[in-house]
Copies of this chain bind each other. A is one copy, B any other.
Amino acid sequence: MSASQSQLRADAAENRARVLAVSRELFAERGLEVPMAAIARRAGVGVATLYRRFPTKESLVMEAFTEQFAVCQAVIDEALADPDPWRGFRTVIEKVCLLQATDRGFTAAFVATFPEMHSEVRERTWHCFGELVDRAKASGQLRADFSPHDLTLVLMANNGLAGVPVEVAVAASQRLVAYLLESFRTGTDALPPPVPLSLDLVLS
C-alpha cells in the first residue's frame, strides 16, 4: 500500500486523507446524494482535487466504505466463532442494523457496490450467513422456516428507517429488530421501549 500512498507528495496525501474522512462524515449524515462540491468545500480543497484522487464519485463512495464492509465481514466471522449459534445470529442482525441506522450512506453504498465486489466475497459472506442460519436452526432456537433471504428482507426494511435524525433512527431500528428477532425465535422477552416516530420526521 505504501507504494500507491507514498508516491503522493506529502500535502497531497494529507488532502486525500482529509477528503476521505470528510466523505465518510457527510455520507453518514446526509446520504450518498451529497454533492461532490460539498465534500470538496468541507475538505478545503477544489473539486478537481477530488476527481484527481478518485476518478468518479462512485469510486470515492467505494473507497469511503471499504472500512465498513470489512466491519461487516468481521461481524459475521465473529458470529461464526460464537459457540451459541442463536446469539451469533442475533448479534449479526443487531450489529448490521445498527450500522445501517447510524450511517445514512451505508446501505446505499452497500447495495451500490455489492454487484461490483468480487463475487467471491459475496459468495463467502452469503455462505457464512447461511451456515449461521443452519446452526441456529439446528440448535432449535431459530424457526425452521426462516430463510437466508430474510436477512435481505430485514436489511431493506431497516433501511426504510433512514432519513430521520440519527438518534431516532437508532431507537426505531432497535425496536424493529427486536420485534423481528422475536418472530424469528422460539421464545420471548422484553422489547426496547416504543419510539414516538412521526411521519413529519422524514422531511428533515
Chain A residues with a Cβ under 8 A of chain B:
110-112, 114-115, 145-147, 149-150, 152-153, 155-161, 172, 175-176, 179-180, 182-184, 190-191, 194-200, 202-203
Contact = CB atoms under 8 A, between A and B. Distances in A.
Given A157-B176, A159-B160, A183-B183, 12 more contacts: A110-B199, A111-B199, A114-B199, A115-B200, A145-B190, A145-B191, A149-B195, A150-B175, A153-B172, A156-B160, A179-B180, A179-B183
A22 B47 CA distance: 40
A110 to B, nearest CB: 7
Nearest to A160: B160
B197 A156 contact: yes
A199 to B, nearest CB: 5
A158 to B, nearest CB: 7
A195 B160 CA distance: 18
Nearest to A162: B160
A152 B164 CA distance: 12
Contacts of A161: 153, 156-157, 160
Given A179-B183, A183-B180, A195-B149, A114 B156 contact: no
A147 B194 CA distance: 6
The winner among A115, A149, A152 for most chain B CB atoms within 10 A is A152
23 contacts: A111-B203, A112-B203, A114-B200, A115-B199, A115-B200, A115-B203, A145-B194, A146-B194, A147-B195, A149-B194, A149-B197, A150-B194, A155-B199, A156-B172, A157-B158, A158-B160, A160-B160, A179-B179, A179-B183, A179-B184, A180-B183, A182-B183, A183-B183
A190 B146 CA distance: 11
A112 B153 CA distance: 25
